[in-house]
A and B are shown apart, each in its own frame.
Chain A
Amino acid sequence: DVKVTQSSRYLVKRTGEKVFLECVQDMDHENMFWYRQDPGLGLRLIYFSYDVKMKEKGDIPEGYSVSREKKERFSLILESASTNQTSMYLCASSMEGANYNEQFFGPGTRLTVL
């Protein structure tokens, strides 16, 4: 059974803190994605990676960075958390070339920045 896991389901941080969100997939997928989900705005792509150490900006990369040192792990970093980064963060992965790159999602991390 395919699985994408995220390090925390709920996270509360203070403004200005450095925040790490981690995502691990066990499907040997090449592609990994970070989205944020906000009511009325849907899923917006923050960053994605199509290979180890490769990354590309999505639609809303400002205030975020990512790291992919191993194929199975993709980390989202908030260098200095702000209240407008309070959101649900979803990680996804997909296999290159398979079934039109169906994306498999983790359960999400609900981040609150106070």
Chain B
Amino acid sequence: QQQVKQSPQSLIVQKGGISIINCAYENTAFDYFPWYQQFPGKGPALLIAIRPDVSEKKEGRFTISFNKSAKQFSLHIMDSQPGDSATYFCAASITSGTYKYIFGTGTRLKVLA
């Protein structure tokens, strides 16, 4: 029940295309869903995050879509660029009383020039 399932494991997209990464969770107590971006040789860094009281959050070319009833959330990267090539991790957290994130298994994105 503590797992966060992420798919696909890898993704290849043409420059200018839309990249979509999906995550699903079971624990309805999760109330914070961040996405982290990791470039080779670097640690992950927060990209964008959402709370379950909204269905969508957009920051530039990055959008999180959240479906509370289906217990799923996804990251959409519009107009994907070669510089977006990285590994993306979704995560889930219960913000009251704990500091832990449960991370998905990661998606390696490659955007072709």
Contacts and interface: CB of A to CB of B under 8 A. Distances in A.
B95 A42 contact: no
Contact of A90 (B44, B99, B100): B44
Chain B interface residue bracket vs A: 20 to 34
A107 B103 contact: no
Nearest to A9: B41
B43 interface: yes
Interface of A: 4, 31, 33, 35, 40-45, 48, 50, 58, 90, 92, 94, 96, 100-108
Given A31-B99, A42-B104, A48-B100, 17 more contacts: A4-B43, A33-B99, A33-B100, A35-B103, A40-B106, A42-B6, A42-B89, A42-B103, A42-B105, A42-B106, A43-B44, A101-B95, A102-B46, A104-B45, A105-B36, A105-B43, A107-B41
